[in-house]
A and B are shown apart, each in its own frame.
Chain A
Amino acid sequence: MICKIEFCFQIYLPLNLKFIESMKVLVCISKTPDTTAKISFKNDGKDFQSDGVQYIMNPYDEWFALVRGLELTEAQGGTVTVLNVGPADNDTIIRKALAIGANGAVRINKEPEGAWDVAHQIAAFARTQAYDLILLGKETIDYNDSEVGATLAELLDLPFISYANKLDVNGAEAVVNREIEGGTEIMQGQLPLVISCAQGMAEQRIPNMKGIMTAKSKPLNVIDPVAVDSPVTIVRHELPPAKKSVTLIAPEDTDELVRLLHEEAKVI
């Protein structure tokens, strides 16, 4: 028996190594209010009114970063770890990421205080690991800062590519298409890389029953945060002034619309 196993290793292991890169991928996920959530604030606008709000995994993290990370490791071998900075409530979205297919998860146990904090927490953890790829969404749908990726890359002294809509990995080399104003840039770099992901990268995956069942037994490690002083504080929020109801114009009277756009709205 022992001989046989050794024989197998001798024959197959080198072949496997040749064809499969065992990539270590970290996907950073955030929790955000659902896209359709009603947005309001409490404590004189200081805090978000979360009562009755449904929370989801930030769609860009889920649909684009996580799914592309899974596709790459499924095709080429490797593991995807998801990481979230947040309190125990966030385990719901973390389990969903595991159900979609991530191999394991880490939660840094603290209520995140903005992009600077989140990037520093992730960096403190990622420094202790050797990830080949760190993927995250292009921004979160709540604060839309689009800041964590670049901050994280700087802290780890890694190259960063933002708004990627295509990512292929060949051995240690990545080819990335990224959105720029009015076009696309095709970039090439050596792993490890930090990449923020936009539409086009992958398609949303719905977890299946097997995924949901196995997610329960996958490792979710909770670790302590590091001390970080945030350089920015949110002093208040405001809701936009109630929109004046629409001015309707008769379908025959497009001249009037043009006049209003010129004289009243002053946009043409």
Chain B
Amino acid sequence: MSVIIFAESVEGQVKKSAFEAVTYGRKVADALGVACKAITLGKAENASELGVYGAQEVYNAGDAAFDQFDSQVFATAIADAFNQLGGKILVLSHSSMGKSLAGRLSVRLNAGCASGASELPDISNGFIVGKSVYSGKASAFYNINTENKIVSLMGNAIKPEKTGSPVEVKPLAIVAGVPRIKVVERKTISGTVPLPEAALVVSAGRGMKDPSNWGMIEELAGELGASTACSRPVSDTGWRPHHEHVGQTGLAIRPNLYIAIGISGAIQHLAGVNNSRVIVVINKDPEAPFFKAADYGIVGDLFEVVPRLIESVRKFKAGH
């Protein structure tokens, strides 16, 4: 019996969300007194590092066909590995890939699934997993009744913890099936951390007045090592690309720090960000609803506050 973690990789590298999933999986395995094993599909050059975050055994099925994602091919392989390795609990990331897989695997493994889990399971009476619902306005606790169980873990719900050392990657004898979906092209924005994975986010809204003013947002994000985001009106008018839009209809994110600049904080925007650990709001309108959801706020003209904040961050970095 073991906890199996499906560790996602992209462009040959295991993703940060996979290290979170392994950290989570190891804690579950320890609580149950069972082994923690991680599997990777396709190229995953740094797979042995999964051991650092708690995997006791790491496996790889290296078939090059796994370098392209097809949910049926992946689900077949993961279900196969799960059974080969004596799995009882499967942990995966609640990512674009994980969301395409969890439902399929729940059918294949006849396993109940807690999707988007944000807490460790309570195993004192059942297997109860907490997750955020109603776009962050509440939590729900799912009890998984089946013998096999699936947990898809929300990004940034747990910090990756270095508790072990690299382990040797063993090969998995799994051959990829023939995909029915073909990936024609994959376009990624290089150089920045993808928003759903970012720990720090600097976001701006209509208060910026003009897209040409975004330099200071990028500068602040650069100083903090943060990713940039924006509100819906800003992406709708084409000031910023759509993939930066966070909110009800855009991306839902849960970084450790969300700095909202010139965003009033409509409920639809809050739905995408109110799971952030700490929210800072900079707005000249003291009545902006965002202040009610904020931990720290500055009421002031962003064109004066942001350049000053950039200087403060620089000073802080120089001193640390």
Binding site for B on A (CB under 8 A): 33, 35-36, 39, 41, 59-60, 63, 115-116, 119, 141-155, 159-163, 165, 175, 178-190, 199-200, 230-240, 243-244, 246-252, 254-255, 257-262, 265, 267-268
Contact = CB atoms under 8 A, between A and B. Distances in A.
B278 A150 contact: no
A30 to B, nearest CB: 14
Given A246-B297, A265-B295, A186 B183 contact: yes
Nearest to B294: A246
A59 B140 CA distance: 21
Contacts of B99: 146-147, 150, 162-163
B280 A257 contact: yes
B182 A187 contact: yes
A140 to B, nearest CB: 10
Nearest to A238: B139
Contact of B112 (A155, A184, A231): A231
B138 A146 contact: no
Contacts of B242: 165, 199-200
A147 B150 CA distance: 12
A58 B104 CA distance: 22
B139 A240 contact: yes
Interface in B270-320: 271, 277-278, 280-281, 291-301, 304-305, 308-309, 311-313, 315-316, 320
B182 A188 contact: yes
Interface in B111-151: 111-116, 126, 128, 130-146
B160 interface: no
Interface in B72-117: 72, 75, 94-97, 99-104, 106-108, 110-116
A59 B267 CA distance: 14
B248 to A, nearest CB: 6
Nearest to A120: B107
Contacts of A186: 183-187
A248 B312 CA distance: 17
A160 B194 contact: no
Interface residues of B, number: 101
B103 A151 contact: yes
Contacts of B301: 251
A162 B96 contact: yes
A172 to B, nearest CB: 13
Interface stretch (B27-35, B164-172, B208-216, B249-257): B249-257
B131 to A, nearest CB: 8
The 10 closest A-B pairs by CB, nearest first: A182-B194, A251-B300, A150-B103, A231-B112, A151-B103, A183-B188, A181-B194, A154-B104, A254-B312, A145-B115
A216 to B, nearest CB: 30
A189 to B, nearest CB: 4
Q: Is the interface of A mostly helix, strand, loop or mixed?
A: mixed
B268 interface: yes
Given A35-B268, A182-B188, A251-B298, A199 B245 contact: yes
Given A39-B138, A257-B280, A183 B189 contact: yes
B139 A237 contact: yes
B243 A234 contact: no
Given A185-B185, A246-B291, A150 B141 contact: no
Given A159-B180, A199-B242, A246-B295, A141 B248 contact: yes
B71 interface: yes
Given A200-B242, A231-B111, A234-B141, A159 B295 contact: no
Given A153-B71, A234-B140, 4 more contacts: A35-B271, A150-B101, A185-B187, A257-B296
A184 B194 CA distance: 11
A199 to B, nearest CB: 5
Residue picked from B114, B194, B296, most chain A C-beta under 10 Å: B296
Contact of B296 (A148, A238, A246, A251): A246
Interface string B219-258: 0000010000000000000000011010011101000110
B71 A150 contact: yes
A260 to B, nearest CB: 6
Contacts of B96: 162-163, 178-181
B297 A232 contact: no
Given A115-B103, A181-B197, A144 B132 contact: yes
Contact of A39 (B134, B297, B316): B134
B163 interface: no
Contact of A159 (B141, B181, B248, B281): B181
